[in-house]
Structure 1
Amino acid sequence: MRRQPAAMAPRHIRPAAVAMSLRCVTALLGGYAAATGIATLIARLLPVARVEATLWGMTLSALCYAVLALWCFAEARLARVMATVWGIAIVTIALAWALGVRA
């Protein structure tokens, strides 16, 4: 019986690799979406000039993104990470969309 070359052998995906991939996607894309939603809400709700509110929103969004990305890898439970980050992203973007453009 001939042995198959390594390139032809069936591969099995390890659950730990899938979990880490989901964590990375959540940290990168979900964290970015959540930070964008938070920045938009801050810029929309601050009672200062539009330029200053936008500047504060963008500045604080960098901090939010860093904190969320680090927390994604510090938290032990993947389900909590995904629910929290994607939940923040959906809720903040929906609120910003519902509030509309600042007059």
Structure 2
Amino acid sequence: MRAEALKGHLDGLLLAALEPGPLHGYGVIEQLRTGSDGQIDLPTGTVYPALHRLERAGLVRSQWSHTSGRRRRSYELTAAGIAALDTTRAGWAEFSSAVSALLARQSWPAAT
């Protein structure tokens, strides 16, 4: 899946990738890849700028560490990031339900 197809959803995907715990940038990329069965495979040039933007917005924080003699920056959700992820999930549920209803030619909201 190309990055252009994910416009408007990238932040939520990155926040969801970080939900289980801190990851370095390549770990985030791998989490997205494995969590989507290979469908979401984003380049570092897309992920790192978005992580930096999320950090400036206060949704993630980063910390430098040394692993195997290499310096790595790990990212983790802040309380604001957790709240933003909850909001994103609620919005996605509503949006995807409406789109699915339209594509399946059903009325929305679906009867429960």
Structure with the bigger percentage of strand: 2
* Larger RCO, structure (CA 8 Å, separation 6 or more): 1
Per the normalisation by structure 2, the TM-score is 0.26
**Scaled by the length of structure 1, what TM-score is found?**
0.28
Larger radius of gyration: 1
Task: Please identify which structure carries the higher helix content.
Answer: 1
